[in-house]
Amino acid sequence: MKRPEQTVRPSVNSGTRASSEPKHERGQRVSRDARERILNRVRAANRDREPVSHPGPLPEAAEPPGPFGEAGRADPVGSFESCLRAAGGEVVRLANEEAARRWLEEFAGGFESASVCTGVPDALHPALPGVPPSEAALGVSLAVGAAAQTGSLLLSSKEGRRSQLLPPVHLVWVRAEDVRTTLGEALQACREDLPATLALHSGPSKSADIGQILVTGVHGPGRIIAAILGAGGVRS
Amino acid sequence: MEVHSRDYRARARRIITETPEVREAVNNATRTFVDHRREAFADCDENALSGWAEGVKSHALTHLADYLEEAEARLVERGAHVHWAETASDVHQIFEGIVREHGVRRVVKAKSMLSEELGLNPFLESCGAEVFETDLGEYIIQLLGESPSHIVGPAIHKSLDDTRVIFHERLGTPRDASPETLAKAARGLLREAFLTAELGVSGGNFLVAETGSIALIENEGNIRLSTSVPRIHVALVGIEKVLPKWADLSTFLQVTAKSATGQPVGCFVSIIQGPGGSTGGEPDGPEELHVVLVDNGRTRVLADPEVWEALRCVRCGACLNICPVYRQTGGHAYGYVYSGPIGAVLGPGLVGLEEMLPLPFASSACGACAEVCPVRIPIPDLLHVWRQRAVERGLTSDVERSVLGLLTAAATRSRVFGWAGKMAGFFPEWIVRRLPLLQEWSIGRETPRADGPTFRELWDEGIE
């Protein structure tokens, strides 16, 4: 910013540049030189500085919100439900596969079409015409985990992302045993097999950018429903 | 991006006198942020969290070269292209290569303050690409031809009616449209852009060295879409964004969201390890991932024995929200991409003190910013460092130096000081109002009048 802009003007002088190497290769060469210079400057900057040691894992007592405590540990599904609901999400508990199928049949009745991620078991597909994600009324996916602490569903890009993002309503299946207490535990469970993108969905898409007034469904799904399998009994 | 910080005084005055609605909008927004932040930390041991976060960030910065190399190695293993850029023009060159090679005509952008710092939009447009800011706030100010006025809420200086007017003109929505109608109109237009753009550009909140992960926090879903739908994704990441371990990420995601908007975590978080699509062996997602590691002045700040701690910043904006000076004008007065207290500390380091004056002086030194900082950056101390350097380098005004010189001369001579204090009481108000330094101070304030005996006279008489 401070230095005079030596901006490479496209089109204007690109034909007259002396170098004959392809642009992307020249770009990489520039980048390689820059790499060495940046790393050298970073090392020089830290040479006379006392290294600070890593404080180690966050003590459990400091986990937000407050000491997570017995209540959170005893009932992660309940804590997850409260947290996701507080952010505007919906939660339904389904005791077994039979209950899940019955609920899905009724729920799917409200939609005309669906786009289902590849990770969802056949038994959990809604009986709706399958359409591309950009046209679907409902997207269905299967979470690889969940965190009670933040009300987050963990979604893998391995099952495809468009069905998680483009339809206005997003139904996410999650197994009760995959609901972890803290976000750290949920992320740790995914650590060994990370997809290209691991995403957390912790509520409907929202924005307050227009005059500080909250609106939902801005770009991503405006409704998110977590259907918890094997959680027994709908909590009132 | 051009820097206009030297005009701070004039810009601030203009905003306050000519557009009082800006102050109102900024006050409403920042007070809401502050309230939400307070609630979010109510049940937390905030001290333990900020102490831990400070430790992790300082550790990462004092071992930065090793962690950058580690992150690069992990990303390359996953098939990402890693670029290094010393300056904005390096970044432009990298983008030029990508745009030309892939024939990019449309770009969708997730909110990135670094891209503002690098002047990316005008450059991409000069390459012939059409650029869509997709964060709703960024989109509003892009339509208006403005720059973001806040790190987290780029359009907080705009009212509902401002948005109604510009959307009416540009998108044809009704003049009295509801926020829902306005958002829907933007969604429709930008959805088309997401589906047709070849390139998605994002920033990066964190770069986890251990796994080579770029983490991005948001609420709208536009970052997920920008990094998932187009064929190419380029992430701009400042070299200071490193976190050492995967296990560090969960707490930083939470602390940043709580501090920024008071949420437990953003509605959407993307944690990106590599390209998707056929490159990554996945059903969809970008075929190419480019990660640009950007210096642009950061190594200079790191080399600074006093100011380097400012690089711990996670860009939550809490120091802006709490700042009584920021609240008067919003971010545009600062004339720099990073406004408020953290901008006044980072700017002189990244760009140069001379270009950034008088920003380190645009503070009442109340210390509120240091109290809310989730990584304990001692902002008031660092402002003080820049002020001292400005004086040492002779960058403050001649008048100010002579007046302060006189004051020092008087204050270190007891009898002169006593006499001067007594004389001050005899100056009529109109003279006081015209004195250098007091002139600006006395605008909008009652000039205090010396009344009766001075403290020293009372002291000599013996105070009861």
Q: Quick check: A58 and B49 CB within 8 A?
A: yes
| B38 within a domain of the structure (yes/no) | yes
Same-domain status, B280 and B415: no
Q: Between helices B179-196 and B136-144, what is the axis angle to 10°?
A: 90
Cβ atoms A228, B196 nearer than 8 A: no
Higher pLDDT: B412 or B227? It is B227
Q: What are phi and psi of B365, to 5 degrees?
A: 55, 35
User: Of A152-156, B77-81, B458-462, which range is least confident?
Assistant: B458-462
| B377 within a domain of the structure (yes/no) | no
Pairs from B382-389 (Cβ < 8 Å, separation ≥ 24): B382/B306, B382/B307, B382/B309, B382/B310, B382/B345, B383/B341, B383/B344, B383/B345, B385/B306, B385/B307, B386/B307, B386/B344, B386/B345, B386/B348, B386/B353, B386/B356, B386/B360, B387/B360, B387/B361, B389/B353
ipTM, interface predicted TM-score of the complex: 0.92
Distances (CA, A) of B341 to A35, B268, B360, B365: 31, 28, 8, 10
Alpha-carbon distance B193 to B133, whole Å?
10
Nearest by CB to residue A52, choosing from B55, B96, B160, is: B55
Q: Quick check: B276 and A157 CB within 8 A?
A: yes
Nearest by CB to residue A199, choosing from B195, B253, B268, is: B268
Contact residues on chain A for B296, CB-CB shorter than 8 A: 1
Q: What is the pLDDT of residue B428?
A: 76
pLDDT more than 90, % of chain A: 76
Least Cα separation, residue B23 to chain A (angstroms): 13
User: The domain spanning residue B220 has which CATH number?
Assistant: 3.40.50.10420
| B308 within a domain of the structure (yes/no) | no
Query: Nearest residue of A to residue B55 by CA position?
Result: A55
Same-domain status, B280 and B428: no
Cβ atoms B330, B12 nearer than 8 A: no
Contacts of B129 (CB under 8 A, 6+ apart): B99, B104, B105, B106, B107, B199
Q: What is the pLDDT of residue A71?
A: 66
| B380 within a domain of the structure (yes/no) | no
Whether B176 shows a pLDDT value over 60: the answer reads yes
Q: Name the domain boundary from B266, B298, B330.
A: B298
Least Cα separation, residue B230 to chain A (angstroms): 11
Contact residues on chain B for A9, CB-CB shorter than 8 A: 126
Confidence of residue A22 (pLDDT cuts 50, 70, 90): low
User: Mean per-residue pLDDT for B341-352?
Assistant: 97
| B372 within a domain of the structure (yes/no) | no
pLDDT more than 70, % of chain A: 83
- When computed from its CA atoms, the radius of gyration of chain B, rounded to whole angstroms, is 25
* Arithmetic mean of pLDDT over chain B: 94
- The residue segments making up the domain with residue B144 are 5-298
Contact residues on chain B for A223, CB-CB shorter than 8 A: none
Convert the pLDDT of each residue in A178-187 to its tens digit. Answer: 999 999 999 9
Q: Quick check: B263 and A87 CB within 8 A?
A: yes
Convert the pLDDT of each residue in B24-45 to its tens digit. Answer: 999 999 999 999 999 999 989 9
Q: What are phi and psi of B181, to 5 degrees?
A: -65, -40
User: Mean per-residue pLDDT for A124-148?
Assistant: 97
Cα four-point dihedral sign B139, B140, B144, B146: negative
Q: Name the domain boundary from B248, B273, B298.
A: B298
Domains (range + CATH), chain A: 68-229 (3.40.50.10420)
Nearest by CB to residue A10, choosing from B96, B293, B296, is: B96
| B340 within a domain of the structure (yes/no) | no
Convert the pLDDT of each residue in B362-411 to its tens digit. Answer: 999 999 999 999 999 999 999 999 999 999 999 988 887 888 888 888 88
Query: Nearest residue of A to residue B120 by CA position?
Result: A7
Q: What is the pLDDT of residue B445?
A: 77
| B320 within a domain of the structure (yes/no) | no
Q: Name the domain boundary from B273, B298, B323.
A: B298
Same-domain status, B131 and B250: yes
**Overall domain count for chain B:** 2
Q: What is the pLDDT of residue A175?
A: 97
* Dihedral in degrees, nearest 10, Cα atoms B411, B412, B416, B421: 20
Least Cα separation, residue B13 to chain A (angstroms): 24
Cβ atoms A217, A205 nearer than 8 A: yes
Query: Nearest residue of B to residue A214 by CA position?
Result: B179
Same-domain status, B77 and B215: yes
Contact residues on chain A for B375, CB-CB shorter than 8 A: none
Same-domain status, B169 and B282: yes
Q: How many CB atoms lie within 10 A of CB B242?
A: 26
pLDDT more than 70, % of chain B: 99
Alpha-carbon distance B343 to B365, whole Å?
15
Whether A219 shows a pLDDT value over 90: the answer reads yes
